[in-house]
């Protein structure tokens, strides 16, 4: 029996009680893409739950760009293939495979997961791996889904753990390069060096550790700007206006700052007209806006 691949359990909150599947009744393993270029498992879970009104994510399992396998509904009835949800397992893959390429890491993870599932389900074999479009009127899982490679890998027993390690300048499968390509960003060394600076990684040389750190930070979201959470105060020799909404209009002036006075917490920086303002919070948690010009304020 194929060894169970590593999976992540996120303890997703579902609405209502899920219905346990009868493993002997399962006849197909249905492969899907979400048809969205960036959404991860939490985005899909929230959309299926709050947008579609379902119990939660419809897929039984989910595979991210980097090959990480997540448990969705597991061996409970899914909501992924109309008319077949009680006799199939649905596997969702991050990405839009009419617009993007399926990553090598996803292929490896898909082979490992489907092979393991076949070992758990007595009436399923490699020929029962199908795309959503084989059972319904849809283009899912997209023209770039690597179905033949997936089936061949499962049939030949070519099962290996998805490579989630990141190499150096010649990074390999499941790497920062794979990830950047999958989301349509420039993956060249010069581009990665720029991203590294934005995410606070100094002296980027493309080492394995630096690439792993960059991949982790980019998957977490936008970089935290250096001014977030810091104090901003007026250095203007006079009264500096602050506002109760992002505006330069007199009618939205909330008050004035004397030199040396300010706000303890910068929340964000926003563009207002041709300039920028800091979105700030005072000690009571009230939100205001003040110029971000270095001519008038300092950040500490």
Q: For residue 227, is it within any domain?
A: no
Mean pLDDT of the chain: 87
- Are 246 and 272 in a shared domain? yes
- Are 129 and 245 in a shared domain? no
What was the pLDDT predicted at 289?
96
- Are 183 and 86 in a shared domain? no
Condensed to tens digits (0 to 9), the pLDDT of residues 129-174 reads 999 999 988 999 999 999 999 999 998 865 444 444 333 333 333 5
- Are 88 and 215 in a shared domain? no
- Are 37 and 65 in a shared domain? yes
What was the pLDDT predicted at 17?
94
Q: For residue 279, is it within any domain?
A: yes
Condensed to tens digits (0 to 9), the pLDDT of residues 235-279 reads 999 999 999 999 999 999 999 999 999 999 998 888 999 899 999
Least confident of 96-105, 115-124, 224-233, 256-265: 224-233
Q: Which domain holds residue 243?
A: 232-299
What was the pLDDT predicted at 163?
45
Question: β-pairing, 265-272 with 262-263?
Answer: unpaired
- Long-range contact list for 288-294, CB < 8 A, 24+ apart? 288/242, 288/243, 288/244, 288/254, 288/255, 288/263, 289/242, 289/243, 289/244, 289/245, 289/246, 289/247, 290/232, 290/240, 290/241, 290/242, 290/243, 290/257, 290/262, 290/263, 291/240
Highest mean pLDDT among 79-83, 165-169, 227-231: 79-83
- Are 118 and 182 in a shared domain? no
pLDDT band, residue 182 (cuts 50/70/90): confident
- Are 61 and 99 in a shared domain? yes
Report the CATH number at residue 83: 3.40.80.10
Q: Tell me: pLDDT of 79 over 90.
A: yes
Q: Tell me: pLDDT of 76 over 60.
A: yes
Report the CATH number at residue 282: 2.30.30
How many separate domains does the chain show?
3
What was the pLDDT predicted at 165?
36
What was the pLDDT predicted at 191?
81
């Amino acid at each position: 029996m194929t060894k169970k691949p590593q999976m992540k359990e996120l303890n997703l909150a579902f609405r209502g009680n899920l219905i346990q599947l009868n493993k002997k009744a399962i006849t197909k393993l249905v492969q899907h893409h979400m048809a969205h270029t960036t959404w991860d498992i939490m985005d899909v879970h929230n959309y299926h739950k709050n947008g579609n009104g379902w119990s939660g994510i419809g897929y039984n399992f989910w595979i991210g760009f980097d090959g990480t396998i997540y448990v969705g509904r597991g061996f409970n009835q899914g909501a992924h293939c109309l008319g077949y949800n009680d006799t199939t397992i649905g596997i969702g893959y991050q990405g839009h495979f009419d617009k993007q390429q399926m990553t090598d890491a996803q292929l490896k993870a898909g082979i490992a997961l489907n092979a393991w599932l076949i070992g758990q389900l007595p009436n399923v074999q490699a020929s029962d791996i199908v795309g959503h479009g084989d059972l319904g009127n849809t283009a899912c899982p997209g023209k770039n889904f690597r179905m033949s490679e997936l089936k061949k890998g499962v049939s030949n027993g070519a099962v290996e753990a998805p490579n989630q390690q990141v190499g150096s300048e010649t990074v390999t499968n499941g790497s920062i390069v794979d990830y950047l390509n999958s989301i349509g960003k420039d993956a060249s060394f010069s581009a990665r060096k720029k991203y590294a600076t934005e995410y606070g990684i100094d002296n980027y040389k493309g080492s394995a550790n630096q690439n792993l750190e960059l991949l982790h930070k980019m998957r977490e979201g936008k970089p935290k700007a250096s001014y977030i959470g810091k104090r901003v105060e007026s250095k203007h020799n006079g009264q500096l206006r602050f506002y109760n909404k992002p505006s330069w209009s007199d009618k939205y002036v909330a008050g004035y700052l004397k030199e040396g006075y300010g706000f303890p917490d910068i929340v964000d920086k926003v563009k207002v007209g041709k300039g920028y303002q800091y979105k700030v919070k005072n000690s009571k948690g009230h939100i205001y806006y003040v110029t971000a010009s270095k001519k008038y304020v300092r950040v500490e």
